[in-house]
A and B are shown apart, each in its own frame.
Chain A
C-alpha cells in the first residue's frame, strides 16, 4: 500500500509537474473551496492520524487546539530536524516528494488559521533544503502558496530554516527556541506550542510524515485512512530499517506490521549465516527487543505495552555479531554528546553513565556497577526536563535487562563466547 511513497519512483519526482500528475494539489483547492476550516480539522480527526515524530499525539486534536486560540498570527512548523540515529524516512519525502509536505502545510494553515509556515530542516540535509526551496518557488508560481492562493483569499507563506546541528532541536520547543534565534533548549510545558509557540503565538508543530499524510486524508476522507493499519494507530508508516539486514531502507507498511514481517519479508532477512539478536524498533532512544519479541507489532500501543516505543519508526536490527555493551556505549555517547546541558540529571547523569560504561568496557567494572547504572538511569529517566533525558537511557537499561550476561563477561574478563556458554548451562 503506497500512500506516502506514491510518487517517489516517478522520474524527476520532486518536480511540481510530477506531483500534479498524481492528484497533487487537488486536496488543497478542495479544502479551500469546499470545506470550512473546522471541517478540515474534523476530517483529520476522523482519520485518527497520530503524529509521526514519535509522540503519537492525535494530529487533529493539535490542530483543533491551535484553531481555538484567537491570537494571531499563528504558525505551522514542519519539523524536518530528522536527527534520531537510524531515522531517514523524512529525508525520502523531502527529497522525493516535497510538494506533499507543502500541500499538507498549506491545508494545516487553512485549518488552524495560520498564514505562515516554517520548515525547520536539519543542517545536515543541504540537498533537502534546496529541493524544498525550489518546490516552494514552484508552488508559489502556480499559486499553491503565497498570497491569495488560487483566488481563495487565503494566504500562506513558507520559509525554510536550516538547523545548526543539535539533536535537541528536534524536540518541538527547543526547535522553536532555535527558530527564534536562541540557544536550542526545551521550554517548560505547559503552556504547549499550540497556544504559546513561535514568538509566543499559537503554533502547530508537525512532523514531515504527518504533514505528508494530510493531502491523501483530505482527498479520500478520514474514514478511508482510519481503516488502514490498526484501530488505535491507523494509516501507513514509514519504517527506516537499518543494521544487519540484507536490504536496509525505507518501507511503507500499514501500521502494526510485526517486527518479524518487516525484517524477514520486507527487508530481506538477516545477513548470510547470521541470526537475529536484537532490534531497536524506534531509534536510538528506544528499548531494544530480543528474539522472543519478534512478533511484536510495530505501532505506538503495542510497543509501549512491551516497554519500548515506536518513536520515529527507525528499526535498527542487530545480528549475533553485535556486542550489546558496545552498542549501549555508542548510543549513550551520542546522547551524552547531544544533551543540551540545561537540566542536571541529563547533563551530569549521562556523563556518569558513560563513565561507568567506559570502566566496564575497559575491564574495570564490577557487578555492583550494573545496579548503579540501573539506579542512575532511573534517576535520569524520572527527573529530566525533557524527552531527551527521559528516553536516552533506554538502550542501557534494556540491554542490561535483556543481555546482562554480556555485561558480566566484561566484568569477569571473559570472552562473549565463554559467557554465553555459562548463560546456557
Chain B
C-alpha cells in the first residue's frame, strides 16, 4: 500500500494501481479516451494528463503508477490547458456531424468537448478526409470520426482473441480496419462497437433509426443460448431498437456475441403473429379473440381427453421458455390432460447424456461454473466448437489460453480456438473414444493417477485391462496423431491443478456417445479432477433453458426435480398440492409422439415454439403425421411451416416481453425482466398455459403473475426450494442451495453452489466404467461419410432465421467438406450434390473447408434450403436432434 495525495486529498491504495484508479477511488474524474478497464494500458490519447510534483512534464494518469508520497494535481491551469489542447487536436480532423452520428448523446468526445473544450477552434483550412468504404453488412466504420484510441483493436485482440482489426498507415493517415482493407472477417461479437468512445464503429442495424437519448434501457437475460448472459434492451415506444452491453454485469460481465447483440430484430419483426388464429370451416386461418381461441383449444382437448384419454394428447415445448412457463406446461399436461406425453426438442440430452452423469456422479448438470473456465490450467475440449455452441463460455476459454492455460481440442472440424489452443487435433468422428482411452493408458502407465482419488474405487484392474488391447503407437497411428499428442495431453491434464473437460454435441450425441462420456468420467476420476474449483465436467447444451426444462420436469419420464414419473412419494406429494391424480405411466417422447400421430394413436398435439416440419427427423413424414392429427395447436411468434398447419395458433411473446426466470448451463437461476409489452395481442406463454388450464376447469392453474408461479416452484421443485424473484434480483443463484441459504442470500450476497461434488463422489459411485470399445461409430458401406449437423456462430436453431441482421451474415446452407473429400467425390466447390441418409435426402451446394477431417461433412441446420430433419435418423433415446448422421454424397 502506498499513500499519495491527489488534489489535496490523501488516499492509501494498492501500489500496483495507476494514478487514474486512485483518483477514481477519491471520486476525482480524469477524462480519458484510450483507457479501458479491461484492456492493456496505452497512454496514447493524452487526455488524462496531470501534474505531478517533482516531474517536469505532465504525466498520463492512466499509465503512471502510484508511488508513496506522490502529489498529483488534476485541476490546474496547465492541466486544463492540456485538455483543451487535446480536444482541439482531436477536433481538427473530426467531422462535426453529430447531427447524423449514431453515437451522438453517448459520445465521449462530444461530452468532453462540451465539458473541457473551447467554444471555438483556431484551426483554419480543410479537414483531412479519408476515403472510406463499407467493410461489413452489420458494422459501420467511419474513419474520419476515429480518434485512434485503439480500443477496438485492443479489445478484438485482447478480449475476443480475433485480431480482425488493426492499424494501417501512419500519422494523421492512420486508419483502423481489417487487414489490407479487406472486408471484416470476424465473430461479430460487437466488442468493437461497445468499446468505441465515438461514432467511428457503429451498428449498421440501428443506423439513423433512433437517437440514443430517447432510449430506455432494461436489463434482461439473453434468449439465444444457455450461457445466460445479461444484456440491456434499449427501447422506445414499445420497440426494441438495439441491445447494449451491461458493463460489468452478469456472467458475461457485459460481453455479448453476434446473436445477443444483433439478434434483437426478431422481437419487433413485422411478421410477428399479433392475435390468435383459428381455422375456420373452409380450412383457412382467421383472426380470433383470445376467448374464442382458448375456448376452442380447451373444448377440443377436453373432448379428446374424454373420448381417447390422456395418452392421446401430447405436447412439445421449446426450451427457450422460462422456468415458470415450462413448469406450467408440464403441470397443464399432467393435471389438465392426465398425460405424461411432454418433451422438449433437445430431450435426447436429458435421456442419453445427463443420465450418464447421474449414474456415474450423481449430478444432473454441468459440475462446475462457467467462470471457472477462465482459470483452468488444462482443458480438454471434445467435440465442441465452444465459440459457436456457447460463445461466452468460449470467451472464457480464450482467456484461459491467454493466461497460459493448456487447451487441447479434439474435433472433427477446426474451430475458432484451433489457432489459439495448445493443440488442435482433428480426429474423425467416432474415434474420440480411442483418444480418451489413450489418455487413460498414459495416466496408468506413467503412474500419473491420483492415488487418493483412486483408492476406494472398484474396477481399477478392469480399467487397466480395458486399455491393454492397443499400444499407444497403434492408437496414435490410427488417429493420425503422434504419440506425443496423446502422451503430452495426458501429462498436462493429470499434472494441472485445475483441469476440466468440456464436451459438446458431436461427442455426446454420436451413436456411441455414452461410452465416450463414460471414458471421460473415468479419466477425471482417475486423475482426481472432480469436486474442486477449476476441475469440472461440462456438457455444452446450447438450448437456452435446457437445464430449466429438465429441472421443471418437462420430460415424459421425470417429474420436476429429475424425479422418475413413477416415484410414489413425490407423486403423492404433488397430487396433494395440485389436487389431481397424476398419470403414472411413462409418456411418449417427441419422436414417439410424431410416430403415434402417424399411426393415429395420438389425436392432439400442442406445440410451443417448436417447428417439427423444419427441424425434426423424418422430413415429409413429419408433415404427414401432423396432418393426421385431430387437433393441432401451435403457440408461436411466427407463422412457421408448422404453424401454417395448425387448427389454432396462439401468439406468444419473446423473452424481452416477459418476466420470469431462466436456468443457465451452470445451474444459475436468473431473473429476466420485461423490456416491452407484448406486441399486438400476444401473451406470455405462462399466462396462456394458466388461462388454458383455467378454461379446462383447473383452478390450480390460476396465477396472477410469473412471480406467483415461481413461489409454487420454490415449494415443489427440489433444488429450487426457497427461490423468489426478489432473491434472484442481482446475480441469480446456482443450485443446489438450502432453503435456509436462500433466505440469507438477500442479505449476504450468497450466490449458491459454484461446483458440485465438493464432498467427493458418493461411495456408491466409486467405480470405473472401464469402457471396452475403442470406436463408437462402426463403418457403414452404404453411408460411408459422417455428416455433422451443427450450428453456425451467427444462428441458433431455426429461430434466428427471423433476424434480418443475422441473415446478412449467413442465410443459406452449404455442405462443407475437406477439399480432398471433394476431389475424391469429383464435386468441385460450388457444385450441387445430393446428401442421402437412411432417412431421406436433399440437394445442396458444396463448399470446401480445410478445417474438416477427411470423410467428415458439415452442414448448418438452420436453413430451409437444407432441412436437417430430412436426413436425421431417430435415436434409440428418442431424441429429436442428433448431431451426427451417416450419409453418402452423390453429384446432383
Contact = CB atoms under 8 A, between A and B. Distances in A.
A227 interface: no
7 contacts: A336-B172, A347-B174, A349-B89, A351-B172, A382-B82, A383-B58, A383-B85
Contacts of A351: 92-93, 128, 171-172
7 nearest A-B residue pairs (beta carbon): A341-B174, A348-B89, A339-B171, A351-B172, A379-B85, A341-B171, A355-B125
Contacts of A188: 41-43, 63
A263 interface: no
Contact of B170 (A339, A359, A379, A384): A339
A36 interface: no
Contacts of B420: none
B172 A183 contact: no
B547 to A, nearest CB: 43
Interface stretch (B44-52, B386-394, B409-417, B467-475): B44-52
Q: Which of A183, A348, A349, A351 has the most CB of B within 10 A?
A: A348
B124 A339 contact: no
A277 B368 CA distance: 78
A347 B172 contact: yes
Q: Which of A342, A379, A382 has the most CB of B within 10 A?
A: A342
B45 A344 contact: yes
Contact of A379 (B45, B89, B123, B124): B89
Interface string A264-285: 0000000000000000000000
A355 B93 CA distance: 12
A347 B122 CA distance: 17
B173 interface: yes
**Secondary structure at chain B's binding surface: helix, strand, loop or mixed?**
loop
Nearest to B56: A382
A192 interface: no
A166 interface: yes
A342 B44 contact: yes
Contacts of B125: 355, 358-359
A260 B276 CA distance: 98
Interface string B147-187: 11000000000000000001101111110000000000000
A338 B173 CA distance: 11
B55 to A, nearest CB: 12
Nearest to A371: B122
B500 to A, nearest CB: 29
A359 B124 CA distance: 9
B479 interface: no
Given A344-B47, A344-B148, A383-B82, 7 more contacts: A341-B167, A341-B174, A347-B89, A355-B125, A379-B85, A383-B46, A383-B85
A351 B89 CA distance: 9
Interface residues of A, number: 29
A343 interface: yes
B200 to A, nearest CB: 14
A372 interface: yes
B43 A345 contact: no
Interface of B: 41-47, 49, 57-58, 63, 82, 85-86, 89-90, 92-93, 122-125, 128, 147-148, 166-167, 169-174
A341 B128 CA distance: 14
A227 B831 CA distance: 82
Given A348-B89, A348-B90, A351-B92, A341 B124 contact: no
A350 interface: yes
Contacts of B45: 343-344
Contact of A341 (B43, B57, B148): B148
B44 A352 contact: no
Nearest to A184: B170
Contacts of B166: 183
A352 B124 CA distance: 9
Interface string A181-222: 001000010000000000000000000000000000000000
A344 B83 CA distance: 11
A166 B41 CA distance: 23
Contacts of A402: none
A337 B171 contact: yes
A363 to B, nearest CB: 14
A347 B85 contact: no
Contacts of A346: 171
